[in-house]
Amino acid sequence: MAENSQSRSSRKSGRRRGGRSRQRKVVAAPAFIKRQIPFYEFLGEEGLNKLEDQAEWIIQEIGLEFRDDPNALEIWKSAGADVKGTRVRLDRGMARELCKTAPTEFTQHSRNPAKSVRIGGSSQVFAPVYGPPFIRDIKQGRRYGTYQDFENLVKIVSQLPSLHHSGLVIVEPCDLPVSKRHLDMVYAHMKFNDKPHLGAITEKSRAQDSVDMARILHGEAFMEENCVIMGNVNTNSPLLVDRVVTEAAQVYCGANQGLIVAPFILGGAMGPVTTAASIAQAFAEAMMVGAFTQLVRSGAPFVMGNFLSSMSLRTGAPTFGMPEPVISNLIIGQLARRLGVPLRCGGSLTASKLPDAQAAYESADSMLSTSLGGANFVLHAAGWLEGGLCTGYEKLVMDADRLGAYQVMLAGLPLDDNALARDAYVEVEPGGHFLGCAHTMANYETAYYEAALSDSNNVEQWEESGSKDTAQRAYERWNQLLKDYEAPALDESKDEALKEYVAKRKDEIPDAWY
């Protein structure tokens, strides 16, 4: 019997059965993923050595520029770096040696301890898109993000079990002054959500506000010993590190909090057009800033980031979900493990403007390779559209639905006696069917990942329910999530103290729109 016609008949029998009473057990989602499958070793020893050698060559022979922060140059000089003007070079091996004091893995604590996440090793943590100024949904189209959108997104993310972390700038609240919006964003994450989140980095004072607000929420003593907040910075590739990065390192790592350093390289623009060179350059940049974080405070949590994009050769526009970044996701994981630090890379990336097939193909290839590559912290795991310029309401819940599937894959394959089901073959004769057998009845509730937004009905049922495409179903889902939202309890005195802090700082800071 052909796979096609068979699927039709089984669908029918399944529908009958489904009509009765099959209900899936609700299984509490874990706070983060504990990976149970092997890492995929894409490159062999020789290839990895070549990339590491190239990174050391860059650091020793070319060096990195550290601009606009004399403090940073002083720190490098004291450590014995070769500093000429703003160019910093390190002897081969020195950056790697300095990175050794960074923890291989650490916990980012949440105000709800059940939602604290482990970052590094075989743990994987997914967080939403970060940074888009625009927002899109299928009814209202594309427009600048507002604070209302931002708060909506925090509330939706708080309810998506496959997002373990809420990130920070799920969309830019463009209706708030640039100089103050970080206060509203950090407060919203603390108030409306009890997953861990990031802090601001765009100015030193904003990073400091984030850390100060975290002190109100978590307590100063606790933070001396534990990570509760992190900053996420990009180097200014190629080989340029600006004040935003070095000041964020001083504020976050100085307070024993985490710093994620992600070189963003559009191959052919901020790095060479060949993928191997871009991987090595990104590794050199991240390792160098990682070394810097350890000079600021030995033992502070550092996450090596990587963000490689390819380019359309017809137009020069960045492309996403293409095979070159897919390969880089797999290789950079190997390099991070050899360096012994947690890795941020990948995400559900796309250049598409709409939550359509292009968006999904590109996001899936990007995210499956991210998952296989072992990325420990995945920013942009859901909601990214248009090369990161736009957050999609539908895209956010669509991606999150797929993230649940990666979680199942990463849990590996059970191979115990129940999984092998020999009793079922004794019960069910060749040519029979397993639908009603004891083994099926005992296992069906947890057997398969159930994708909320995938429509697997036959075409007649699908037409009866309105012939909706994925984006339409996703629109209904995010609206339902907003309706269902309930705020997690927050200690009233802490809430008051946070509000006071925000009010005081807003009084102090002038409105600015840049």
Considering only 188-196, 416-424, 476-484, 486-494, which stretch makes contact with a second copy by CB under 8 A?
416-424
Which residue of 268, 482, 495, 497 would you call a contact of a second copy, by CB under 8 A?
268
Residue nearer to a second copy on the CB measure, 154 or 351: 351
Interacting residues with a second copy between 113 and 172 (CB under 8 A)? 130-133, 142
Residue nearer to a second copy on the CB measure, 152 or 352: 352
Assess 14 for contact with a second copy (CB under 8 A). Answer: yes
Assess 62 for contact with a second copy (CB under 8 A). Answer: yes
Residue 263: which of 240, 294, 229 has the closest Cα? 240
Residue nearer to a second copy on the CB measure, 315 or 493: 315
For residues 333 and 374, the answer to whether their CB atoms sit within 8 Å is yes
Assess 450 for contact with a second copy (CB under 8 A). Answer: yes
Distance CA 112, CA 88 (A): 42
CB of 304 to a second copy, least distance (A): 15
Distance CA 141, CA 18 (A): 37
**Buried b or exposed e, range 162-177, using 16+ CB within 10 angstroms:** bbbbbbbbbbbbbebb
For residue 436, list its beta bridge partners. Answer: none
Considering only 144-152, 287-295, 361-369, 503-511, which stretch makes contact with a second copy by CB under 8 A?
361-369
Assess 248 for contact with a second copy (CB under 8 A). Answer: no
Which residue of 7, 78, 148, 298 would you call a contact of a second copy, by CB under 8 A?
7
Assess 236 for contact with a second copy (CB under 8 A). Answer: yes
- Output the CA–CA distances (angstroms, integers) from residue 54 to 51, 57, 92, 270, 322, in the order listed: 5, 5, 10, 17, 24
Distance CA 218, CA 109 (A): 9
For residue 311, list its beta bridge partners. Answer: 318
* Residue whose entry in the numeric block shows the structure tokens 């603390």: 190
Interacting residues with a second copy between 420 and 449 (CB under 8 A)? 420-422, 424-426, 428, 430-435, 437, 439-440, 443-445, 447-449
The phi, psi pair for 87, rounded to 5°, reads: -90, 125
Interacting residues with a second copy between 21 and 40 (CB under 8 A)? 22, 24, 37-38, 40
Which residue of 29, 30, 34, 41 would you call a contact of a second copy, by CB under 8 A?
41
Helix count and strand count (H, E) for the chain: 19, 19
For residue 343, list its beta bridge partners. Answer: 304
Interface with a second copy: number of residues (CB under 8 A): 157
CB of 96 to a second copy, least distance (A): 19
Which residue of 29, 30, 34, 47 would you call a contact of a second copy, by CB under 8 A?
47
Taken in order 192, 198, 202, 207, is the CA torsion positive or negative? Answer: positive
Name the strands in the sheet holding 384-385, side by side, starting at the edge strand that comes first in the sequence: 141-144, 134-137, 390-392, 384-385
Interacting residues with a second copy between 171 and 190 (CB under 8 A)? none
Considering only 94-102, 289-297, 408-416, 500-508, which stretch makes contact with a second copy by CB under 8 A?
408-416
Residue span 192-231 as binding mask against a second copy, x where in contact by CB under 8 A, dash where not: ----------------------------------------
Distance CA 329, CA 323 (A): 10
Residue span 269-288 as binding mask against a second copy, x where in contact by CB under 8 A, dash where not: xxxxxxxxx--x--------
Considering only 155-163, 192-200, 204-212, 413-421, which stretch makes contact with a second copy by CB under 8 A?
413-421
CB of 79 to a second copy, least distance (A): 19
Whether a cis peptide bond, with omega within 30° of 0, leads into 238 is: yes
Residue span 461-480 as binding mask against a second copy, x where in contact by CB under 8 A, dash where not: -x----x-xxx--x------
Q: What would you measure as the largest C-alpha separation in the chain, in angstroms? A: 80
CB of 90 to a second copy, least distance (A): 14
* Residue whose entry in the numeric block shows the structure tokens 């096609």: 4
Interacting residues with a second copy between 367 and 406 (CB under 8 A)? 368-369, 372, 386-390, 398, 402, 405-406
Residue 36: which of 413, 393, 346, 362 has the closest Cα? 413
Name 390's Cβ contacts closer than 8 Å, sequence gap at least 6. Answer: 132, 134, 135, 136, 142, 353
Distance CA 327, CA 269 (A): 19
Q: Which two tokens stand for residue 175?
A: 């209706």
CB of 214 to a second copy, least distance (A): 21
CB of 332 to a second copy, least distance (A): 12
CB of 374 to a second copy, least distance (A): 12
Interacting residues with a second copy between 288 and 347 (CB under 8 A)? 307, 309-324, 326-327, 331
Assess 364 for contact with a second copy (CB under 8 A). Answer: yes
Residue nearer to a second copy on the CB measure, 453 or 509: 453
